[in-house]
Structure 1
Amino acid sequence: MHSDFTMKLLYLSGFNKLRLFNGKAKGYAEFINAKKRVPAYADFLDSQEFSYPSFNGLVPNLSEIPLMDKVNYIKKYKLEERCLNGKIPNKNVVIDESSGSSGTATNWARGKYERQVNAKMIAFGMRNLFGDSPVFIINAFALGAWATGVNITMSCVKFAKIKSTGPDKIKIAHTINDFGKNHQYIIMGYPPFLKSLVDEVNIDWRELDVSFILGGESMAEEMRDYLIKKGIKKIYSSLGASDLELNLAAENDFTISLRRLLRSNELLRKRILNYDGAMPMVFQYNPADFLIDVRENGELVFTICRSGYISPKINYNIYDKGHVLQYQELLAICKELNIDEGQLIKSKTDLPILFHYGRADMTVSFYGANISPVDIQEVIYSLPKLVETVHSFHIQTLEDEQGDKGLVIALETNERKGALDANVPELQQAFFNNLANINQDFREARKMLSSVNQIQIVFYAFAEGPFSDADIRIKAKYVD
């Protein structure tokens, strides 16, 4: 456990190579520990006929260690078998579960030490983002056994006033009205819920000091613009995974300025970004705590390097897509392109930069074009008629009797709106024109269509059609 002063030393610029080496050394130590003490992991390695990674000098080649994921490891072995010494400790352990948005919910066990370290890091990060003034946190993540809701409350209670309302707009409105304007509020939740909170609750956000911390899924930069115009003071996103940890990587003022520069500078986008489509999220992370190995297919593989976790994760694939850029590499690219560094807010540290494109399996394929939820979100925020109206969306591809494929974007209106006329030619044309501007592959795919009717948007009233079974407690399901 470190003091704030010690942690600031850990993040000093100029030491990222040392942090990376430290992460690899700690990752190897976690591998040895798990191999000896975790029955499931020992069996997993035996099944893969793997003993030890090779070394390049003093550096272990951790990428040689077999990949684990939810299918070949989590679902194959019982929770007890995945814990140190093959059992769940009898006290100081929290059992939570993932939302089950990709299938059946999964149980996770988190010990006292790992919860303490994570809480300390969250407190340190919050002070860096919001200063030392008191904060009133409203936890709008799903409560009950859900991993994020449970752990956010426990992590924040030591440094803030916190009320855990869950995703309940009426409770949040009552809380703000009851406690008044003399608080610095930070509301945490999923992006679609917080957007609907701003749209549908009768509160003048401009009169309050309210900031958002978003998690669970990506958001378009246009959403940040929209929410700030509505009166939200600051908006930051965090990358977490129930499988691993709440806060693997995070936005800050520097990464937001970089994302905005990428949005406005085509040369920089072409030089840095690896994939076509909507803008990736941009985070920084500490490789001494979480090693990220980017595979050839762009999938991100994580190793938790912190000691003391009762269920170690080494080379764990959550099937997110992205890539990593070192901070000094970014500065060199900006210099090469004659980009004034003054266009970026100076980073407080030289931690590596993670470009996160979302789930590798959260896309639909249409005439060779991979269309992601973030693409659709960005289109919605580019059209004022939709921003105020749309609560959620769903992407579906169909095939008719002649074998022609169709792309249908279902748009759910918010609770204050009724079903809208889906046959608005101007709106439909604008929607797919903007999608073509965002996604180059779709621009080419559209040229192959034999009929304009193969692509369409369809409006549904709130909680109707494909949205009738939506569960507000968990992340939205945008793709079948």
Structure 2
Amino acid sequence: WIGGLITYQGFRLASERAVPLSLITPGVNKEEIIKTLARIGHKFHQVILVGYPPFVKDIVDEAIARKIRLRKMNLRLMFAAEAFTEKFRDYLVKKTGIQNLYRDTLNIYGTADIGAMAWETPTSILVRRIAMKKKGIFNALFSKITKTPTLAQYNPLFITFEEENGTLLLTGNSALPLIRYSTGDHGGVHTFTEVCDILQKHKISLEKAARQEQIENYIYQLPFVYVYEREDFSTTLYGIQIYPEMVREALMDTYLNKYLTGKFTMLTKYDQHQDQYLEINLELKRDKKPTPYLRKRAVVKIMQSLRAKSSEFRELSNYLEERANPKIVFWKYEHPLYFRPGIKQRWVLKKNGRR
């Protein structure tokens, strides 16, 4: 809720500075959001949806299912509270008809301790997308990790970041000033020049790449910070870390997207022989029913993603064969056990119930 209040205040201050806008705050009431889009969304020059990434995706999917013409609304998307992949961004851009994903989508990196700290820019999104296609650049920027970090830029006049043993430390002035404060996030820091040099070593000019994407006027010479999921946001299978992102990527499959919301909860369980297995609980879209083929495809796509993103899991699955396959459990839309509306999604459930 603190993110919502900070965002509200930001837009309110903008309106006081003669920026014409109407601010509607329905919270997590999906029905009210859908009704608002249907009734008045088309009357504005542009519409900005702000929220938690899976929730925004829910709104987009539900609006399209109800024949609301989002493509006519000149839509922009702002996210916070969670990382997402470029496939996720591409999915929403395609569904909403967004013209330029670099200028019209934005993820914020913030914390309740100090508020918004850094944010995606057209520059950071471009660099991240280049890195996703070039393994050498990815490793140089983010080191050899299997997760996709959020890459953002920050204004050092307000806040600065340091990296110590893979953990981010921040210093910033707020109601309670913070000095080399650790939020527990993993990641690192680069100067603008360092990022340009890394790209140049791989024969890529940031300016040229920006011109190709029509964002040459949006190159911000600010430092970069990257952050990725903590280990406590993972589960294990035979000692191997399984991160939510590995499964999220698989669920962006075109066929699976027709039936699934993309939300899930995964946990490690034991069978009657006390052998470990991975259970993945998947949320069906409204009025969708599971089929044997849907289950089979989910297993195949998840296994492909796990094997591609983790060499350790690949070796394990070669040894265990079918026993490495996850158990898939389908749940109705907004089932209260794992998919209760109005709260952040529990991607991982520990044995003792911790997220």
TM-score by length of 1: 0.63
Instruction: Give per-residue Cα distances to partners, 1:316-341, cap 9 Å, x unaligned.
Output: 32221111122111111222222243
Structure 1 match to 2:47: 185
Once residues 437 and 450 of structure 1 are traced to their aligned partners in structure 2, the CA distance between those partners, rounded to angstroms, is 15
Structure 1 match to 2:118: 249
Asked which structure has the greater RCO (Cα within 8 Å, sep 6+), the reply is 1
* Matching residue within 396, 404, 408 for 2:267: 396
Counterparts of 1:2-401 in structure 2, within 5 Å, are 146-159=1-14, 160-179=21-40, 180-201=42-63, 202=66, 203-233=68-98, 234-245=104-115, 247-296=116-165, 298-304=166-172, 306=173, 309-341=174-206, 342-344=208-210, 345-346=215-216, 348-381=219-252, 383-391=253-261, 392-401=263-272
Once residues 276 and 171 of structure 1 are traced to their aligned partners in structure 2, the CA distance between those partners, rounded to angstroms, is 40
Once residues 323 and 254 of structure 1 are traced to their aligned partners in structure 2, the CA distance between those partners, rounded to angstroms, is 17
How much has 1:254 moved relative to structure 2?
Answer: 0.9
1:420/1:460 contact within 8 Å kept: no
Once residues 461 and 474 of structure 1 are traced to their aligned partners in structure 2, the CA distance between those partners, rounded to angstroms, is 17
How much has 1:216 moved relative to structure 2?
Answer: 1.0
Structure 1 match to 2:101: none
Structure 1 match to 2:17: none
User: Higher mean Cα deviation, 337-346 or 275-284?
Assistant: 337-346
User: Higher mean Cα deviation, 248-257 or 151-160?
Assistant: 151-160
Matched letter for residue 327 of structure 1: F
* Structure 2 runs not aligned, ≥5 long: 15-20, 99-103, 350-355
How much has 1:451 moved relative to structure 2?
Answer: 4.2
Instruction: Give per-residue Cα distances to partners, 1:264-313, cap 9 Å, x unaligned.
Output: 122212322224323211101123322222121x2212222x2xx33233
Q: Indicate the SS of the match to 1:314.
A: strand
Q: Indicate the SS of the match to 1:436.
A: helix
Matched letter for residue 373 of structure 1: P
Once residues 479 and 394 of structure 1 are traced to their aligned partners in structure 2, the CA distance between those partners, rounded to angstroms, is 5
Once residues 308 and 156 of structure 2 are traced to their aligned partners in structure 1, the CA distance between those partners, rounded to angstroms, is 35
How much has 1:151 moved relative to structure 2?
Answer: 2.5
Matched letter for residue 24 of structure 2: K
How much has 1:419 moved relative to structure 2?
Answer: 4.2
2:51/2:78 contact within 8 Å kept: yes
Instruction: Give per-residue Cα distances to partners, 1:49-101, cap 9 Å, x unaligned.
Output: xxxxxxxxxxxxxxxxxxxxxxxxxxxxxxxxxxxxxxxxxxxxxxxxxxxxx
* Structure 1 runs not aligned, ≥5 long: 1-145
Report the identity percentage.
26
Instruction: Give per-residue Cα distances to partners, 1:138-171, cap 9 Å, x unaligned.
Output: xxxxxxxx21222322221132321111122221
1:299/1:320 contact within 8 Å kept: yes
* Aligned-residue RMSD, C-alpha: 2.3
User: Higher mean Cα deviation, 332-341 or 321-330?
Assistant: 332-341
Once residues 339 and 152 of structure 1 are traced to their aligned partners in structure 2, the CA distance between those partners, rounded to angstroms, is 36
1:368/1:445 contact within 8 Å kept: no
TM-score by length of 2: 0.84
Larger Rg, first or second structure (1 or 2): 1
Q: Indicate the SS of the match to 2:179.
A: coil
For this pair of structures, how many residues does the alignment match? 327
Q: Indicate the SS of the match to 2:93.
A: helix
* Matching residue within 306, 310, 313 for 1:435: 306
User: Higher mean Cα deviation, 154-163 or 221-230?
Assistant: 154-163
